[in-house]
């Protein structure tokens, strides 16, 4: 049974296949293979300590790679949203993007990351109240 305080780690079929291939392939660097096994085990559920015990690694290692993988997924989603905004609305349009707040404050971080990605992509965003 998973720890309900952990953010769920969902993988697409293609993402799971890629990670499984990295974990199984003999020519994969061992560090990458281990990270792939950690992410796959986290996606299967269970607390970090159980994943660590099953893979014979430190709980901190599992915690670190779960967090890094989730952050990478979040950044990729934000980049995709910026791209869709840029493709959908003309460059001179006022674009307002709202993020629902949550207990962990991820929405604040996501909004700041979204704005930074949009600036780098030269997508014009309008800040509410400005």
Cα–Cα distance list, 15 to 11, 12, 35, 69 (Å): 6, 5, 13, 12
Whether 128 is covered by a domain: the verdict is: no
- For the chain, percent of residues with pLDDT exceeding 70: 85
The number of distinct structural domains making up the chain is 1
DSSP designation for 128: T
More confident residue, 62 or 84: 62
pLDDT band at 1 (very low <50, low <70, confident <90, very high): very low
The half-sphere exposure of 26 on its side-chain side, counting CA atoms within 13 A, is 0
Whether 49 is covered by a domain: the verdict is: yes
More confident residue, 62 or 105: 62
Q: Which of 47-56, 59-68, 77-86 is predicted with the least confidence, judged by mean pLDDT?
A: 77-86
Per-residue pLDDT reduced to its tens digit, 36-48: 999 999 999 889 9
Whether 127 is covered by a domain: the verdict is: no
The 3-state DSSP class for residue 62 equals: helix
pLDDT at residue 113 greater than cutoff 90: no
Domain containing residue 26: 13-120
pTM: 0.68
Whether 85 is covered by a domain: the verdict is: yes
Whether 125 is covered by a domain: the verdict is: no
C-beta of residue 51 within 8 angstroms of C-beta of residue 41 = yes
Whether 3 is covered by a domain: the verdict is: no
- For the chain, percent of residues with pLDDT exceeding 90: 38
């Amino acid at each position: 049974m998973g720890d309900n305080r952990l953010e769920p780690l969902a993988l697409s079929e293609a993402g799971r296949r890629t990670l499984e291939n990295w974990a199984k392939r003999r020519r994969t660097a061992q560090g990458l293979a281990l990270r792939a096994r950690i992410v796959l085990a986290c996606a299967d559920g269970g607390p970090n300590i159980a994943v660590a015990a099953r893979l014979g690694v430190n709980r901190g290692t599992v915690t670190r790679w779960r967090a890094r993988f989730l952050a990478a997924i979040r950044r990729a989603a934000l980049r995709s949203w910026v791209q869709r905004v840029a493709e959908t609305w003309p460059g001179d349009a006022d674009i307002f993007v709202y993020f629902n707040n949550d207990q962990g404050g991820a929405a604040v971080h996501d909004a700041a990351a979204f704005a930074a990605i949009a600036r780098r992509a030269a997508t014009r965003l309008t800040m509410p109240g400005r």
